[in-house]
Structure formats: structure tokens, C-alpha cells
Structure 1
Amino acid sequence: MKRTILFLCSLLSLNTVLAAGATDAPARQRTISLDEAITLARVQSVDAAVALNELKTAYWEYRTFRADLLPEVNFAATLPSYNKSYNSYQQDDGSYTFVRNNYLQMNGQLSIDQNIWFTGGTLSLNTSLDFLRQLDGTVGNRFMSVPVALTLNQPIFGVNNIKWNRRIEPVRYAEAKAAFLSATEEVTMTTINHFFNLLLARENVAIARQNLANAEKLYEVAKAKRRMGQISENDLLQLELNVLDARSTLTSNESSLKSSMFTLRSFLALSEDEELEPVVPDSVPDVRLDYDDVLQKALANNSFAHNIRRRQLEADYEVAKAKGNMREITLFAQVGFTGTDNRFDSAYRRLKDNQVVEVGFKIPILDWGKRRGQVKVAQSNREVTESKLRQESMNFNQNIFILVEQFNNQQTQLHLADEADRIARKRYHTNVETFLIGKISTLDLNDSQTQKDEARRKHINELFYYWYYYYQLRSLTLWDFASGTGIDADFEKIVRQ
């Protein structure tokens, strides 16, 4: 599967390295970008393996259906059948007696069977040979051959299962293929969630460390200013509390970082001795989406459209089966040749015509409306299904509309968050310098620090939502909006891996 998204990444600098596990062995640092994490998830994650196995199941089910349309060669044999028993026998005067049977029998039959999809019947070409050896009384061999016989088994008026399968199974397989592609994009969405959780956790640790360093520096300066009488005891105590709060926050954030890193490593099936350094994606695709265009692509490519079609066909199929069960008529016809003799070769020379024509039917005279009731039930179920499909289609269209609006708005939100982050950091550094010369209080300094931290976290969150919405739209439309191409795959190659 080809993906054409390119990320321009920059390295996020941290002051220290956390331990990757509970061992004394040094952890191996590994810088990982969002693009790399997505690639690993699509290959190594459990979710990707589940999606692949579901695709393989659907593929072989479809292959089985296709095989039903092709000729099938069968061989059946009994080698041998030995019978030594007593059976009842009616004599000339009408009375019964028991006679002893003691014989050896063998038989074999080779047939070529072909389903007739447009009629629902089965056409078979058969050849068979039976051998019988009498072991009591007149001991001897007997052969019966059927060199060739053509057999037709044809239901009349009943539902044509093969014809309905020809309509349903291709839609089912198309649904499975689209579902696999969507599942792959959903793996990407999960990866984005874990990646940005780790990114935010590491950013929180970096913020906490910087805040602790700043708090300790300000506290040392405040102690000197207090000795000179330039600040109050209350301000000094407040700065000391800031140091303690910063240390507590750092400890909590380090614990959250370890948890987020373990989650991402497990999802990507990476070694526990690797410490991941997530890279902040500093560029995003510059696209703006139109609802009608997105909806058209979703209805053309998403598995939902195939799902709607399949369920409608299945509901129609149930109605057809119920109507077909109201009367059962079957035609059986066979034409061919047969021969019998004490010798094998003679059994194939002295042939006689062999024809069988049989028409059977079963039509209910009085069933107290059972079959008609089954038809009504099937029709009612179809109406329920159609109502559900209409509602699901409306919900699908509405979700597409909301998602397109969210994605388009997210570009603005991301730009505003980036500007707010830049301004908040600049304001905080200015306030630190202003506090050092005694022109603002500790409350103003704490407020600017809080706003700086929140602005940075909001920037990371807005970046997360942008990528999450983007890949959610990809999963619904199976379309790469950055390159303007559809998302496809070589399914034959994938299922044979």
C-alpha cells in the first residue's frame, strides 16, 4: 500500500533521559517521527494483524464461492463392502422366509459436476463400475458398468441460491477489501493517539524540569533580596512553595511519561530497552476540503456503501427464499448406457440404454398459513432493514459533514494555538526578567508561567486533533487528500504473504 505523506520533522531537546524499564541496563535512545510510527504500526501492530486476518478470511470465502461456479471432479468408492447376513425374502406363494447372503461388493464412481448459475440446477457427467462376488451357493463374479451418464437435477419455482450468491458475494468481498483499507487507516489513528500522548507527556516533563529550574533560580534570588529587605516574607514563602510544587509536578509527569512510552512501544511491538524520542511534526498538509466532494468519495470507496448494498440484497434474498418455499418442484433426469456381465470387458461391450426421468413436487394443501406467514415475516424484516439503512445513511452523511467542518476549522485552531504558544513563552521570559528587578509580584509571575504551560499543551493538542481528523477522513473516503490519489492495495499479494 502506497502512502505519500511526507513530514518535515525537528528534534525536541530534553535535559535528561528517563529509564526505559525497570532494569539497570542502559536504554537505547531512538528518535521516532510520526511518519515512522505509522509505518511500524501498519506492519507490526496487533491491530494490523487482526485486519489482515479478517481480509484473508473474506478472500478465501470469496474464492470458495468462485469455486462453486466451476466444474468439480469427484471420485467416490467403496473398497470393499462385505455382507454376511440373513434377509427376508417373499416366495411365490406370498409367504416370507429368510435367506442367507454372503457376498463381497466393490464400486467406484467418477463424476464431473457443474452448477448452472442461471437456473440453479446441477449437471453431472458420470461413469461408474460395480463388482459383486457371491461367496455362497453359485460362486461367481458379476460386473455392472455405466460408461457414461448425463444427469440433471433442477429445482423449479424455488429460489436460485447460486444466482443470489453471484449478486451478494462480490459485494461482500468488496466490502471486506474496503474495510481492510479503513482498518489500516484506523491503525494510523490509534498510532497518532499513542504518539501524541507520549509527545505531550515528554513535553510536560520538559516543562516541569524547566519550571523547576526557574523556580529554584528565582528562590535563590529571592532569598538574597529578602536579606536586603527588597521583598516580603510572604513572597519568599510563595517562591519556596513554587519549588516544592515544581518537584511534585516533575515526579508525576515522569511517571506519566513512562506509562505513555510503554503503551506506544507495546503497540508498535518494539523492544522495552528502547527509549523513544518523539519528534514534533512541524508541518501539516495544506488542504481544505469540500463536503460534497468528501461525501462522494466516501460513498464510492467506503465499506459502508458496500455494507448497505449487501444487507439490502440479503433482505431481498430472504423474501425470495420464503416465496420459493411455498411450493417445491424438482426435475431429475438421467440418460446414458449401462452394461452387466460376468466378465469385466463384456460389461463394457453389451451396453443398453439407461434413461430415468422423474418430476417430484411438494405443494402444501393445508398448512394453516405457515408458509404465507413466513413470506410476511421476511417482507416485514426487509422493511425494517430498509428503514435502518435509510437512518444509517443519514447518520453517515451527517458525520461526514461534521468531520469536514471540524477539519477545516482545525487549521485555524492550529494556527492560533501556535501563535498563542509563541506569545505566552515570550511573555513569561519577559515577566521573569521583570520580577528579578522587582516590578511584578509572584502572583503575576505564576500566572504567566501557567499560561505559558497551557499554551504549549494546547498547541500539542491542536496538532493532535489536526492529524486525527485528517486520517479519520482518509479512513472514511480511502482517499489521500495531500496527493489527490485514492488509497488502494494489491490484495492478492497481501493475502498470500
Structure 2
Amino acid sequence: MKLLLSKTKLLLICLLLPAEMLFAQQILTLDQALEIAQQNSPSIRTSLLSLERSQQLLKAQKAALKSQFTLSLNPVDYSKNRSFDDYTSTWYTNESYQSYGTFTVAQPVLVTDGTVSLVNRFGWQKSNSTASGVENESFTNNLYLSVSQPLFTYNKLKLELKTLELDLENSNLSYAMQKLNLEKLVTQYFYDVYTAQMSLKIAQDELANTEKTYEITKNKVEAGLSAMEELYQAELNFATSKSDVQNQRVALESAKDLFKQYIGMDIFEEITVMADVNATSVEVDMQQAIKYGLNSRMEIRQREIEVENSQFDLITTKALNEFEGEVNMSIGIIGDNKNLEDIYANPTQNPRVSVSFNVPLFDWGEKKARIKAQEAIIQTRELSLDEEKTQIVIDIRSVCRSLQNQQTQIDIAKQNEKNAQLTYEINQERYNNGDLTGMDLNLYQNQLSTKKMAYAQALINYKIELLNLKIQTLYDFERNEAIFPMEILQPESKN
């Protein structure tokens, strides 16, 4: 039934549009314009690229937490050095040939911010020295397990991962907000084109009435029933109406160009928009609208993310010139032999443990000052969060008041249009009977055109304010259903 009504409305709109606007033009509805904009709009594409950047950075960070396999090869390493031996007070020459490779498996530990590595270094070397007169040639293999663990400092791996997760969440929120903003601006541009079409249609109707009046006046003057001044005024009104039609055509084409540019259409493609501006009155509870807004608005979560990021920066700042340490441990075996198969015939264990500390002594108050500066930033972000909540309440209250006012304006504009139409018909009859001048009739014609546009604009303003309320509260009061950010990101999930 709804589909039948929609098709009937579109058919009626087509019948009301000038014939020249329907041929060789693409007819767009608001839904079609939104679909085109979501695919082609430069602003939404930029937001999508930012979202992709955040997704890929987080994906890369998670990949970096998995085991990393590396292989480094040094197939040729040759050196020949001349050195002096202090013990024997003699010069000697050392010549060395080496070929080796190192295979490493490194596993970051997210819980402790440490790293566990399994390393195997295999190589071949040949060396001789004139000091001993001995030449050595052998294969070597060094296999060991090592652990590196920072001490007394923050977990850098967890902090980096959490920062990127917040960045992705923020990008998702920005994309969802951009889609809502896109809907609002596309709707505004769409109705600008529709209003321009209405203005042209009204100007053409006015031209037709003025031309009819001109012909009647001309016949009366030729028959000697009216003064020549009436014909001069009728000609002036007729010329003014022609000029107004041309001006409205120019305004319409300019509005179309801006609309096509924003939604990403070919600027040279001819289009006509069709809209149903009939507005159904919607009851809105202001307190409930405010509650929806404070619970759902994505800007609040963005401000919370800013606070969290500034707290992370404080953790990093507190780590400046801090007391910290590091433990490095490794254990393994080394084997060497001139025969490859006997490389571990006589292995040697090689345990290693080292503990190091960084002990700051005096930094002239640098760390303390930087911490205070960062704490001031956190307080600023918290104030911004509170201000955002206050602004949301103010905006919602303003939209609710505007909706109530728009309902009143629609009723007034509708009655004014009806009165202007009746007034024009009465005075047109008076003019035909010779009881009214052409100048006076033109005033009534202008009044009718103005009231028709005012009524159409009042309906459009109400629909735009309803959309604005939906964006401000993330609640569709026309359908009585909430809107969630993930539904904005993935509308197909509703199906």
C-alpha cells in the first residue's frame, strides 16, 4: 500500500513539473541522492580513507604482537688486518673468511612488555694468524633462548595497542557522524534545488497569468474601453514576469550545480529532483529527546576518547627521566667442528644474565613541569567533555522549540496561501469587469506567488528540523526507533 501511495505521489509531482524539465534529464528522489552521495561524495570518501588508515594501523600492531620470523644472511665476510701485540712486541697479520646466517623467532609478550627470542646462528669460518702460525677452519652453530624484560616502567605494548584501538573507535565515530552530516547537507541541497524548481514553476504560472492579463488589457484598449496607461502597465508587468522567469532559471541551474558537486555527480549531467514535502506533525517530548541525545551522541564518546588519550600522554610524561631497569637472560649451546656432522660433538653451554638500571639524579624540574602541563591538558579535555554535554542539551532544546514554531508557521502559511488564492481570484474578476487597475492586480499576483513559496518553504523547514532532531538525538521520532552508530556504519545489518 505504501509503495502504491509513493508511486502516486511521484506521478502527481511529475505532472506538476514543467514538461521541458522532464525530458533528457535524470529524475532524482532524496533517497537516490543520498545513495549517490554515500558512494561518490568527496567528504565521505575522505572519511572512509581515514577509517581505513586506522583499521590498517591497528591490524599492523596486532600482527606485530605475533611471532616474528627473520632470517639474515651474510654469505661473504673477508678481512685481513695488521695488528701489534704488546705482550710480544711484534706485529702480526690476521686473515679471516666467514659465511654465516642467523634465524630468529621473536615473540613479544603483551602482558609484561617483554620479548622472548629463539636464535640460531650457523656459519663457517677460516682464519689464520702469523702470530701463532696456526690456521683454523670450522663450522659453528650457536643456538640460544633469550628473554628481555623491562622493569619499573609502563607497558609500552599495551599502551600502543590501546591508543590504536581508541583511534579506530574515533575514526568509526567520525565516519558515522560524517554520514549523518552528509544526510543533513544532501537534504538541504536537495530541497534548495526543489525550492528553486518551485520558484520557477510559480514564476511561470505568474507569467501565464500576466500574459493573459496583458491580452485582456490590449483588447480593452483597442476597443476603447481602457486608457492607454493600462496597456503600458500591462506591458511592464509582462516584461517583469518574463525577467523573473529567466532569473529563476539561472537560480535553479546554480542550485543544481552546487547539489551535483556535493553528492559527487557529473556536473554536466542534467537532473530534476522530485520530493514529497507534505509534513506530518510529530509529537516530541523535550526531556526524552535530551535523554536520547546524552546517551547516544557520538561527540560525547569522542571527547571521552580525547580524555583517555591525554591520560595516556600523562603516563608517557611520567616515564620521562624515571628510574627503570631491564633484565636480559639467555641460555643455549655452541658447537664448533671442522666436520659439519660433528658440530655438536663437544658442545659448550653459554648462559648469560644482565641487569641494568637507569637512575635519574637531577633534571632541574623538567619532569615535574611537564607533568603539570599534561595535567592541565587533561583538565581542559574534561572541561570540553562537560561543555559538549551542555551544548548538546542546548541544541536539542533549540530544535524542539523550532519544531513547535514550525508547526505553527505551517498552519499560518497554509491559511495565507488559501487567502491569497481567493483574494487573487476575486480581484482578477474585478479587473475583468474594469473595477481594478493592472498595477493593483499585479500586486495581488505577487502576493499569491509569495504565499505559495512561503507555504512550501515552511513544509521544507519542518522536514529539515525533523532531520536535525534525529541527528541531534540519534532517535527517529517519526518511526519511534533509536539509531545506533554501528547501524549508521553498516545499514545492511538491518536486513
TM-score where L is the length of structure 2: 0.85
Mapped partners of 1:493, 1:435: distance in 2: 59
Tell me the distance in 1 between the aligned counterparts of 2:139 and 2:251: 86
Partner of 2:13: 11
Distance in 2 of aligned mates of 1:15 and 1:327: 77
Counterpart residue type for residue 414 of structure 2: D
Written as runs of structure 1 = structure 2, the 5 A alignment for 1:452-491 is 452-483=448-479, 484-487=481-484, 488-489=486-487
Q: What is the rounded CA distance, in whole Å, between the counterparts of 2:56 and 2:491 in structure 1? A: 13
Question: Contact 1:196 / 1:460 at 8 angstroms: preserved in 2?
Answer: no
Are residues 1:259 and 2:216 paired?
no
- Are 1:115 and 2:109 matched, yes or no? yes
Q: Deviations over 1:374-399 (max 9, x none)?
A: 22222233233333333333223322
- More helix by proportion, 1 or 2? 2
1:194 aligned residue: 189
Classify 1:161/1:480 alpha carbon distance in 2 versus 1 (closer, same or farther; 3 Å).
farther
Residue 270 of structure 2 aligns to a residue in which SS?
A: strand
Which residue is 1:322 aligned to? 317
Quote how far apart the aligned CAs of 1:492 are: 8.3
- Which blocks of at least 5 consecutive residues in structure 2 are unaligned? 1-5, 130-134
The one-character-per-residue Cα deviations of 1:66-89 (angstroms, maximum 9, x if unpaired) are 434x42222131232413242656
CA contact (8 A) 2:303 2:384 kept: no
Question: What is the Cα deviation at residue 149 of structure 1?
Answer: 0.5
1:25-424 to structure 2, matched below 5 A, reads 28-68=24-64, 70-86=65-81, 88=83, 90-92=85-87, 99-117=93-111, 119=112, 121-134=113-126, 136=128, 138-146=135-143, 148-154=144-150, 156-270=151-265, 274-284=269-279, 286-342=281-337, 343-348=339-344, 350-424=346-420
Instruction: Name the CA distance, whole Å, in 1 between partners of 2:330 and 2:190.
Output: 71
Amino acid at match of 1:131: G
- The answer to whether the Cα contact below 8 Å between 1:181 and 1:478 also exists between their aligned partners in 2 is no
Quote the sequence identity (%).
18
Measured after TM superposition, the shift of residue 186 of structure 1 is 1.6
Alpha-carbon deviation of 1:432?
Answer: 1.8
Q: Which runs of 5+ in 1 are unaligned?
A: 1-5, 20-26
Is the alpha carbon distance of 1:486 and 1:150 closer, same or farther for their aligned partners in structure 2, counting shifts above 3 Å?
same
| Residue identity in the other structure for 1:435 | Y
Corresponding residue number in structure 1 for 2:132 = none
Cα 1:75–1:461 change in 2 (3 A) is same
**CA displacement, residues 17-53 of structure 1 (integer Å, 9 cap, x when unaligned):** 159xxxxxxx613332222222222233333322322
DSSP-derived class of the 1:280 partner: coil
1:423 and 1:348 map into 2 onto residues whose CA distance is 107
| Deviation by residue 1:58-107 (Cα, 9 ceiling, x = unmatched) | 22233334434x422221312324132426565436x6956434322312
SS at match of 2:120: strand
Question: Partner letter of residue 118 of structure 2?
Answer: N
Q: Tell me the CA shift for residue 168 of structure 1.
A: 4.0
**CA offset at residue 312 of structure 1?**
0.8
Higher relative contact order (CA 8 A, sep 6+): 1
Give the aligned partner of residue 428 of structure 1. Answer: 424
Change (3 A) 1:372 1:428: same
Structure 1 contact 185–474 (Cα < 8 Å) conserved: no
* Other structure's SS at 1:92 match: coil
Q: Which amino acid aligns with 2:51?
A: L
- C-alpha distance in 2, partners of 1:492/1:126? 44
Answer yes or no: is the 8 Å Cα contact 1:152–1:334 preserved in 2.
Answer: yes
Instruction: Tell me how far apart the structure 1 counterparts of residues 405 and 475 of structure 2 sit (CA, whole Å).
Output: 20
337 and 289 in structure 1: CA distance in 2 versus 1, 3 angstrom threshold: same
Post-superposition offset of 1:166: 5.0
* Paired residues of 2:300 and 2:385 also in contact (CA < 8 A): no
The aligned amino acid for 2:117 is L
1:271/1:172 CA distance change after superposition, 3 Å: closer
More displaced 10-residue stretch of structure 1: 262-271 or 355-364: 262-271
The answer to whether the 8 Å contact 2:396/2:473 transfers is: no
Match of 2:3 in 1: none
* Whole-Å separation in 1 of the counterparts to 2:478 and 2:491: 26
CA deviation string 1:221-247 (max 9, x = no partner): 112223455444333322211011111
Amino acid at match of 1:105: S
Deviation at 1:330, TM superposition (A): 2.1
**What is the DSSP-based 3-state SS (H/G/I as helix, E as strand, rest coil) of the residue aligned with 2:25?**
strand
Taking the aligned partners of 1:288 and 1:161, their CA distance within structure 2 comes to 52
Q: Which amino acid aligns with 2:13?
A: L
SS at match of 2:350: strand
- For residues 403 and 81 of structure 1, the distance between their equivalents in structure 2, rounded to whole angstroms, comes to 76
1:3 is matched with which residue?
A: none
Post-superposition Cα deviations, 1:466-492, rounded to whole Å, max 9, x if no partner, equal 333333333344433333142434968
Distance 2:264 2:156 in 1: 45
Contact 1:319/1:378, CA 8 A, preserved across alignment = yes
Distance 1:187 1:163, change over 3 A: same
Say whether the 8 Å CA contact 1:28–1:274 is kept in structure 2. Answer: no
Asked if the contact 1:175/1:303 (under 8 Å) is kept, the reply is: no
Is the 8 Å Cα contact of residues 392 and 472 (structure 2) preserved in structure 1?
no
Aligned length: 476
* 102 and 182 in structure 1: CA distance in 2 versus 1, 3 angstrom threshold: same
| Counterpart-to-counterpart distance in 1, 2:340 and 2:418 | 99
Aligned residue identity for 1:304:
E
* Per-residue deviation, residues 169-210 of structure 1 (Å, max 9, x unmatched): 433323322221221122222221221221122222212222
Partner Cα distance (1:299, 1:90) in 2? 81
Shift of residue 151, structure 1, vs aligned partner: 0.9
Structure 2 CA distance, aligned partners of 1:34 and 1:416? 27
Supply the distance in 2 between the matched residues of 1:206 and 1:423 (Cα, whole angstroms).
Answer: 20
Structure 2 residue identity aligned to 1:11: I
1:411–1:352 CA distance, 2 compared to 1 (3 A): farther
Structure 1 Cα separation of the partners of residues 430 and 52 of structure 2: 66
Conserved? CA contact 2:331–2:352, under 8 Å? no
